[in-house]
Structure 1
């Protein structure tokens, strides 16, 4: 096998692989430019077979091969318009330019249909070439408009097509000046087309990477917004929405119990020291309630909820309640008043909703306040053994 045949075979293999890759990507990313790109590559391959193959296609005369090659060349330019229209990044508002680029396709179809008529209608002789020049001018205009706005896709495509433009102009000028056709024009054109495949592939990959970066940024923004909606802005703990979300979706599984913790006499702090100091106290409480095997949230005002994980959940609840006092002492050192908290604790039953458990914890919390505050009372299961010290029915003291 001679070198031209090897070169041409490698080119066709490259074109075929390029078409298969673009078609395989389309179901994944659903971007229309991939279909237009595969169609353009297929037309380029057909044109190459008709015009540049080392031997004439079997079963076709020279005139027939030239006719088919001319139609394929026209169609390759026709699909370049909608390809570019759908390839340029969507963030650039070029609707007028995109419509103009999309119009290249129907015009190209008309020109392709005129080519077989040229031998029979002499008046049409220059119509295909003139039309192609107009289509190329539209494509160049679209490229320039997008590049001026900073389009990376258009920049890559301009580089991809530059090889073909340079080779075409050189061959045209050489033939016009010398009247002799270059003997290596086939290799030059094939090299330019391979360059187009390579650079276009790079542009597509770059576009996908940019799309992925934009998608990741959008997902991060959504996640941040979701987190903001579910977070108490003062303490940084989860709010009621975040608490419910954690309760229903947490990978840690269901908690064993929960504690409803309320700062004792918080109104007195606001009245005596002002709401700014009151906010400092709430922030300190939020810090103090955080700990291992617990999930803390602020329901509103001075009321907090702690979900408790582990067999020692009652001990965790009491420790969290006591940390309220130590946290305020540590973080609000200028406060002369000792801050205490009361807690109502409830064990979670199988299948119980958060609202149901909170109601039971709320009953225990009111009982703890009625019993003198600064203590924890736990709701016992309804089939539990006897009452605890100092509590109403189904309540027992903790700690």
Structure 2
């Protein structure tokens, strides 16, 4: 994209376009000029780039050497802006050969770039050409005015056709950020992504109008084109302000500064729209009023970036590097709007390089910010999962608790955990009474460790000395008995100071796989077996395999009777 923008600047005006050697601000009216002797009544300035305001009347004088350099110029070409009237006068020595005047509505030839062209009077004997512009809307009309020769067709006038192709490619490439921004927004619904899309759309619209590509699709007049040129740039700047306010991290800009930036962007849009309207009261100010309206938003951009940089914002540096060339070029254009100097044709096309650079930086910033926000979101989700895990875990043993059991039982049963065992430590109260609660806690922890040794078993602590196991796989009864015995062995091996062995009783129920049932129903069977084991002398396991059936579907009485008649051989 940047390479294309560099070519755009280099190819801005490849055709020979010759500017006037002399210009004037003010002087007699063009209809009063009847001979070359009257040129002395016009305050000419030659060899200077100070074009003045040209607000009332501006003159351009193409001398014989200018016409020779233009090599048979056929058209006068200048930038699109409002005006009252343009008069072209050809001179042959002291004599006026031809005079033609054009109002805005008479202009029909729009050429490459934000330019229009007027055919020069056909006068082979002409030694010089005068151009008078009444109430030019911009000093650029005088500074950019040039004579140029059309070669082949009118498509060679204005900017180079190669440059126009490059600009069209640049517009096409600018649609890429829209595509990936849309993809980003589907994943991370952040407002700054939408504002970046709006900014890119505004930039595309500005390129479409200012490059002259719009002439290929729409037949608009000078007034409409000048207004669109201003409005598309205004929309881009307003969207850029909102993007900046939402893009930079919340801690890096105060809420007041953020609101002020967005509000100033809207105010710039409103003021610029008003300044672009053909209002008679502001006509003499021309384009200067529109350009000066950008000063507040430029100042606020700088203030926001300064504040964010001081607060160690990461995102703001993408904005600083992206907007700095645009701001510098904008300030230069504001100064130049007063007609103090002119720049080569490629100087105005630098805006495309700066816009492409800003889009590249902003796109990189969006990707970077997306990654930062995604990492922050993943960390937040991990913290939530961790907190949820803490809620589902027993603080003493680290095992899942009753809450986790109730929440996960349907899924675990569907995964094959069809056996349920309830374990209770025998005479655990004596442990607390004889050795203290600290020792009792150690016993519970070692019990949990013994019950967690089987890979196809998930263990839960229900409360106190009562535990529950969900089991799957082969040899469930043998594995459950092995873990029950392991409790006593582990406690003896791991805990010093306990004289008598600590045993456990266990009730195990193995149920039919693939049949829906409830935790309460299966637990009731296992709990009954546990207490039968307790009543049978403790330190033992009782198990049972129960056959579960899906609940029968109740049929309506009429359907049941029909079935009975069919069974009895009676037609129904």
Q: TM-score range by the shorter chain?
A: 0.7 to 0.9
- Local SS of the residue matching 1:250: helix
CA 354–152 in structure 1, closer or farther in 2 if over 3 Å, else same: same
Counterpart CA distance in 1 for 2:509 and 2:246 is 59
Quote the Cα distance in structure 2 between the aligned partners of 1:154 and 1:311: 62
Contact persistence 1:171–1:185 (CA under 8 A): no
Aligned to 1:261: 423
1:342 aligns with 505
Q: Is the alpha carbon distance of 1:355 and 1:93 closer, same or farther for their aligned partners in structure 2, counting shifts above 3 Å?
A: farther
- The question of 1:87 aligning with 2:247 is answered yes
Q: Deviations over 1:225-267 (max 9, x none)?
A: 1111111111111111122233222387142321111111111
Structure 1 counterpart of 2:302: 140
Question: Equivalent residue of 2:315, what SS?
Answer: helix
**1:276-295 deviation line (CA, Å, top 9, x unaligned):** 11111111111001112211
Task: Pick one of 199, 221, 224 that aligns with 2:386.
Answer: 224
> What SS does the corresponding residue of 2:280 show, helix, strand or coil?
coil
Report the alpha carbon displacement of residue 344 of structure 1 after superposing the two structures with TM: 1.3
Contact 2:253–2:308 (8 Å) recurs in 1 = no
* C-alpha contact 2:275 2:282 (8 A) present in aligned 1: no
Q: Distance in 2 between matches of 1:182 and 1:64?
A: 26
Moved more, 173-182 or 317-326: 173-182
- Is the Cα contact below 8 Å between 2:511 and 2:545 reproduced in 1? no
Aligned to 1:326: 489
Partners of 1:325 and 1:156 in 2: CA distance: 65
**Per-residue displacement from partner, 1:282-318 (whole Å, max 9, x unpaired)?**
1111100111221111111111111121232111211
Return closer, same or farther for 1:29/1:172 CA change in 2, 3 Å cut-off: same
1:45 aligns with 2:45: no
Aligned pair 1:66/2:226, yes or no? yes
- The answer to whether the Cα contact below 8 Å between 1:4 and 1:54 also exists between their aligned partners in 2 is no
What does 1:361-380 correspond to in 2, within 5 Å?
361-380=526-545
How far, CA to CA, are the matches of 2:524 and 2:193 in structure 1? 58
Q: Residue 259 of structure 1 aligns to a residue in which SS?
A: strand
> 2:458 pairs with 283, 291, 295, which one?
295
Say which SS state the counterpart of residue 103 (structure 1) adopts: helix
Question: Are 1:78 and 1:108, in contact at CA under 8 Å, matched by a contact in 2?
Answer: yes
**Is residue 5 of structure 1 aligned with residue 164 of structure 2?**
yes
Which residue is equivalent to 1:16?
Answer: 175
Residues 320-361 of structure 1, C-alpha deviation per residue, up to 9 Å, x if partnerless? 111111111222144322111111122235322112222221
Range moving further from structure 2, 295-304 or 2-11: 2-11
Does 2:266 correspond to 1:106?
Answer: yes
Which structure's relative contact order is higher, taking Cα pairs within 8 Å and 6+ residues apart?
2
Q: Summarize the Cα distance change of 1:55–1:272 in structure 2 as closer, same or farther, 3 Å threshold.
A: closer
- Mean alpha-carbon deviation: is it higher for 205-214 or for 244-253? 244-253
1:77 Cα shift? 1.7
Query: Higher helix share goes to which structure?
Result: 1
How far did 1:365 drift? 1.3
CA distance in 1, matches of 2:528, 2:483: 19
Higher share in strand: 2
Q: CA 1:210/1:124 → structure 2, altered by over 3 Å: closer, same or farther?
A: farther
Aligned residue for 2:60? none
Q: Cα gap change, 1:269/1:163 in structure 2, threshold over 3 Å: closer, same or farther?
A: same
Q: Secondary structure at the match of 2:447?
A: helix
- Checking the alignment, whether the CA contact within 8 Å between 1:329 and 1:335 is kept in structure 2 is yes
CA 353–251 in structure 1, closer or farther in 2 if over 3 Å, else same: closer
Task: Spell out the pairing of 1:275-290 with structure 2 (5 A cutoff).
Answer: 275-290=437-452
Superposition TM-score, scaled by structure 1 size: 0.85
CA–CA separation in structure 2 for the residues paired with 1:367 and 1:24: 62
Give CA-to-partner distance per residue, 1:119-173, whole Å, 9 cap, x none.
Answer: 5223783543332211222233233333333333322122211222344456777
Shift of 1:32: 3.0
C-alpha contact (below 8 Å) 1:294/1:309 kept by paired residues: yes
Q: Secondary structure of 1:179's match?
A: coil
